[in-house]
Amino acid sequence: MMDCPDCEPRLIDYLSHELPEEERVDVARHLAGCSRCALEYCRLQADLEGIVEAHAESPRPEVFTVLREEVAREFRPRPWSRAWRLLARPVPMYGALLVSLVPAALWLVTTRPAPADAPGHEPSAAHAHPDAPAILTDYDATELPPAHRDVL
């Protein structure tokens, strides 16, 4: 059995795993039974961890600020690229706008009247026979047709 004066000089080697197997077992048994040496071992372990942490210091906050600014400047999209991405984004509003513009454009193209004094202009059938009977009969505009009533 190891005593305290024999154990204390071996604690640093025990902590760094540099003892031979037989001595390592003796130190471990002594630490299990001696609270004073166990406390000394814990202090030594904490001191060594503090030294390791002190040497592994982190950069100053200014380094992170400069680095963040450089990364943002390098990867910032160009204005024309941002505009293209905004327009190329799949937004349902764009589709609805295009769908509503196609019938409106077709209606404008098909219903555009010809100028009255253009050469080669022939009067339409409605203007040719003003006393002709009306094409629509039995039309009541005071009530909506059945297709426009609420279904649900």
Q: Is residue 39 part of a domain?
A: yes
For 49, the 3-state DSSP assignment is helix
Contact between 19 and 13 (Cβ < 8 Å) = yes
- Alpha-carbon distance 38 to 11, whole Å? 9
Q: What is the pTM of this model?
A: 0.38
Q: Which amino acid is at 142?
A: T
Q: Is residue 144 part of a domain?
A: no
Q: Is residue 148 part of a domain?
A: no
Q: Is residue 83 part of a domain?
A: no
Q: Is residue 19 part of a domain?
A: yes
CB burial of 121-144 (b: ≥16 within 10 Å; e: otherwise) equals: eeeeeeeeeeeeeeeeeeeeeeee
pLDDT digits (tens, 9 = 90+) for 13-51: 999 999 999 999 999 999 999 999 999 999 999 998 888
Q: Is residue 45 part of a domain?
A: yes
Q: Is residue 49 part of a domain?
A: yes
Structural domain total, the chain: 1
pLDDT digits (tens, 9 = 90+) for 121-136: 555 554 556 677 777 6
- Alpha-carbon distance 108 to 102, whole Å? 10
Q: Is residue 108 part of a domain?
A: no
- Residue 10 to residues 24, 64, 113, Cα–Cα distance (Å): 9, 43, 108
Full domain range(s) for residue 35: 4-55
